[in-house]
Amino acid sequence: MLNRRRFFQSSLAAAAAYALPTPRLYAVDAVASQAAGGLAAVKLDGSATVIEQAAVAELKASLRGPLLLAGDPGYDAARRILHPQFDKHPALVVQPTGAADVRSAVTFARERDLLVAVKCGGHSFSGKSTCDGGMQIDLSRLRGVRVDPAARRAYVEGGSLLGDLDHEAMAYGLVTTAGTVSHTGVGGLTLGGGFGRLARRFGLALDNVKSVDIVTADGQLRHASAEENPDLFWAVRGGGGNFGIVTGFEFGLHPMQRQIIGGDLVFPVERARELLEFYAEYSQEAPEELYVDYDLRSPAGGKEGAVAIQACYSGPASEADRVLAPLRKLGRPIEDTIRAQDYVAIQRSGDYTDARNYGTYLKAGFITGYSAGLLNAVFEGFRPDPGRGTYFFHQHSGGAIGRVAPDATAFPHRHARLEIFAAVSWDLATDGRRHVDYVKDYWTKLLPFTDGYYTNEVADEHQPKIDENYRGNIGRLRRIKRQYDPQNMFRLNANILPA
């Protein structure tokens, strides 16, 4: 299945991310500091500190999982994320194998006031799952899924990937909403919201969470559910990683047949406006079992652009022809891959290997529908460029997502029917500034038509905009933040400041 993620190998949070020499210099300093008897590090306020070697040794002895320093085998693989312009060097990387390791790492960081980054799948568009000079807690060894088919529950370790969940649950004919790219981390996706091919039918990923186990900033492991620590349970469902590190999720599952109808219709770029006008109406009228996206792309290198309509229908097979009939009336496509296929396979169809040679910058926002003004803005601002890839695309919302009250969880954007994206990618061997400037300028034309944004997709908003985006939930979130993380240890995210 053609998927926008194939074209976006990385993202950029801000113009400062272009300056890569500083992290590399830090790595040299860190190695030198080890030889001098201490480990150079960075505190929460950005000031420098030195961690004594005896303390590092004590931390290492307390862990079952690895503790990696610059120069150790595995350090470079751990520190990197899927967005190569964020080439950062933590002072130390902890790879927990269980909640006890997470507790030890958090306690160590709190006692020394260290900057902390948490990495699960490494998909952070803002590069915040790694850091310079702080502690990176890499959850890649904390993976596993257990399904209880009788109770329709999945128990998922905090570092698991979406593909782990899909694979285990679907073996019993059960599913839950789990994104569109199988190597995305469950934690990052779920805590921020959790859109996916089944969200219109079964709600966001966070709507299906029944409980979590979470290590908070005081180093304590807490269980949170509707009955136990209910404020914390409310906050983590939409408040992102602001409240701690989730070591385990309990998800509710839903029965679903393994075979769905899905794939892509690809058309010449000359039909872009006509097809967007069609999509604007079709997506709004779609049944909840249908997830459908529109992607407009102009690849780098002067290659011919195209438009793709992507569909995933998970309802009764007997209704598929009727539901998809309008797509079949669009005329002969360049490519047609819509067919019966395995749901787990379509969930993997957007996966990509990280070539580490493309940068990407992206802006996104929610809309409730299309107006003539928005249609005009999309095409007046979209400019192909032989030296870059240019993209405009959607994520389908609505349905079950909108049946939850805005204050029932910390995720407030229940009004959204679609999410729109403007993005650009470029070869990292070239200067990306003009490409980023293009998207920022393009987005000024689209922004007036949007109403909020998805924190998992947006990289570089300032604090007042972040606060505003949590809407009427920000006051309660700040009070809960003060209770569980008063020093704002968990700040590398769409940050909620303690009240």
Q: What is the pLDDT of residue 25?
A: 39
For residue 207, give every residue at least 6 positions away whose Cβ sits within 8 Å of its Cβ, in sequence order, or none. 177, 194, 237, 400, 401, 404, 409
Q: Where are the domains positioned within the chain?
A: 15-141, 145-256, 260-449
Q: Selecting from 3.40.50.1820, 3.30.43.10, 3.30.450.40, 3.40.50.720, what CATH number does the domain 15-141 have?
A: 3.30.43.10
> From CA 121, how far away is CA 146, in angstroms rounded?
19
- Which range has the worst mean pLDDT, 31-45, 76-90, 98-112, 251-265? 31-45
> From CA 171, how far away is CA 299, in angstroms rounded?
37
DSSP code string of 126-163:
TSTTS-SSSEEEEGGG---EEEETTTTEEEEETT-BHH
CATH number of 145-256: 3.30.465.10
Count Cα neighbours of 475 within 13 Å in the Cβ-side half-sphere: 2
- 34: helix, strand or coil: helix
Cβ–Cβ under 8 Å, residues 417 and 284: yes
Report, as an integer, the average pLDDT of 440-446: 96
pLDDT of 184-235, one tens digit each?
A: 999 999 999 999 999 999 999 999 999 999 999 999 999 999 999 999 999 9
pLDDT of 467-494, one tens digit each?
A: 999 999 999 999 999 999 999 999 999 9
AA letter at 285:
E
User: What is the phi/psi pair of residue 161, to 5°?
Assistant: -100, 160
Q: What is the pLDDT of residue 428?
A: 81
Token digits of residue 207: 């709507």
Relative to beta strand 306-313, strand 259-268 is antiparallel
For residue 22, give every residue at least 6 positions away whose Cβ sits within 8 Å of its Cβ, in sequence order, or none. 132
CATH architecture of the domain formed by 260-449: 3-Layer(aba) Sandwich (3.40)
pLDDT of 127-172, one tens digit each?
A: 789 999 999 999 999 999 999 999 999 999 999 999 999 999 999 9
- 111: helix, strand or coil: helix
AA letter at 499:
A
